[in-house]
Amino acid sequence: MELTPPAIIPGSKIPHKDANILRERVSRLLGLRSLNFPGAQPVSFAKKHLQTVKEHDYYVCEKSDGIRCLMYMTMHHATPKRYAVYLIDRKNDYYLVPKVWFPTTNDPNDSRLHTETLIDGELVMDSIQGKSQLKFLVFDCLACNGRLYTNRPLDRRLGVYREFVEKPLRTLVKAKPKVLAVMPFHVEFKLMQRAHGIEMMFREIIPKLHHGSDGLIFTCIETPYVTGTDETLLKWKSRESNTVDFLLELRFTAKLDTGDIDYSAMPEMPLSIWEGGKRYSYFADLYLENEEWEKLKESNTPLQGRIVECYLDEQNRWRFMRFRDDKQNGNHRSTVRSVIESIEDGVTKEELLHEAYYIRKSYYERKERREARHHDNPETHSVREASKEPAASGAEKRKLTPESEESTKRARAAD
């Protein structure tokens, strides 16, 4: 069950010493004391979280099988007067990406560009009619032109991105199509739905994707952006998508009539987990059907000592999914333990779909209560109205919501 290879980060990797200059900038921008990766990290969706998404407002989107990155717009680390865009991966490595521009205004002739802007997203490789297209899918905004938004709710953060980053970029591309032609990737907003749109995600959105997807992400609308592990950011995967990366060994025990080792017969295939350093320990055996073994042999590639991604089937057997030659080590024991716990306490697709009605019901009950409070106290103003930030017109407010026009129509139909 070989999956589409993940996207590759474009540009050039910045040496560690120079990257520290950028890490310090990002740390200051976000008000952090650490130079670690500043992105939020989800927790696995457990049974208790069914109640969580009923009690709080959430957006749901598909979990792309891509490369998680933050995009940082700033001035060049070595040439202060030169504009630069960097991608930051989960290893906290920085990549300088050429030929990417993010204007600050809707005037395509205005040369002013975004600086100290940080957005969260994922690189994916779309495959359409045999052609590949690298895309950066945006799903959050931490800072915009030096102004920090991590303490704002999600819908406000997304609104800032769509109004002040996405809209000027669209205007530029429309006026100067050649800009898009030279950019190393397209930038798109990731399609989101209210949490009760789970059925729509499974039925309509995921089947039409042009890239791999291995689950769902539930993001709380009410809470601020959290660097590091965010207990409100929920990652749902099906049982077969909860995978572990093991070190694979082959032990040939079958012998020919001559007494020689029969290297064509299926060997024992112990899987080992990483203990840190160069230490591994046995964990389980890989289960292969004869047909799968024959297919691996036909590939005529070395198997011994490779990292393999595996999933646990309904019979509790570890099954081969794909090779992970992009990884130096398998998963650490602590990661394996977390995956096993997620499988044991996981929520099935059927359970999610069953709960969608109750999630929707709870959402509209909360909405009615909020509207009633606002009606009783009409002088209550929104955060945007009370702040000095630019207010949005009715048309603009519609554009600021995370659903596209098409998805909004679908949501109304579902309601």
CA distance 120 to 165: 13
CA distance 201 to 209: 11
Q: Which residue is associated with the tokens 């980060």?
A: 9
CA distance 169 to 159: 15
Is there a contact between 217 and 58 (Cβ–Cβ < 8 Å)? Answer: no
Q: Are strands 58-64 and 213-220 parallel, antiparallel or unpaired?
A: antiparallel
Is there a contact between 311 and 240 (Cβ–Cβ < 8 Å)? Answer: yes
Helix (H) or strand (E) holding 321: strand 318-323
Active site (catalytic) residues: 63
Is there a contact between 246 and 271 (Cβ–Cβ < 8 Å)? Answer: yes
- Strands, E assignment, 16-130: 40-44, 58-64, 67-75, 83-89, 94-97, 117-128
